[in-house]
């Protein structure tokens, strides 16, 4: 059995960032296998097959324009941060509210 590639290895082979590889998985262009529910791994054959298609798509002009591409990663990072840290954010808000309440009540 062939060794599965990490997100970093797939990104290096494709010449893109790890965020771009994750975007390819979300769009369905690349199939990732989750290990432990968190770590993505990729079959090298699938990544190698994607490279010619990716190069062809990169040579075509983008319909969304540079402004949409520039704002997208920031919004995705904020959304991912809130999604993965929602419990901590809610806990911190409750803790701050409790401290303020105790300070006002005393």
pTM score above 0.75: no
Percent of the chain topping pLDDT 70: 78
For 42-84, write each residue's pLDDT tens digit. 888 888 888 777 656 654 555 444 444 445 677 777 887 887 7
Quick one: pLDDT at residue 77?
79
For 7-17, write each residue's pLDDT tens digit. 889 889 988 88
Range of the domain at 85: 71-106
Domain assignment present for residue 65? The answer is no
Domain assignment present for residue 103? The answer is yes
Instruction: Assign residue 10 the CATH number of its domain.
Output: 1.10.1660.10
Whole-Å CA distances, 34 to 38, 43, 44: 6, 12, 15
Spatial neighbors of 18 by CB under 8 A, at least 6 apart, are 7, 8, 11
- Longest CA span, the chain: 68
49 lies in the same domain as 85: no
């Amino acid at each position: 059995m062939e060794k599965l590639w990490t997100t970093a290895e797939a990104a290096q082979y494709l010449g893109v960032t790890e965020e771009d590889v994750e975007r390819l998985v979300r769009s369905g262009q690349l199939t990732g296998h989750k290990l432990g529910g968190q770590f993505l791994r990729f079959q090298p054959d699938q990544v190698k097959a994607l490279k010619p298609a990716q190069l062809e798509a990169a040579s075509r002009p983008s319909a969304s324009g540079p402004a949409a591409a520039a704002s997208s990663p920031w919004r995705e990072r904020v959304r991912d941060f809130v999604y993965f840290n929602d419990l901590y954010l809610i806990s911190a808000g409750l803790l701050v509210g409790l401290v303020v309440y105790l300070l006002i009540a005393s």
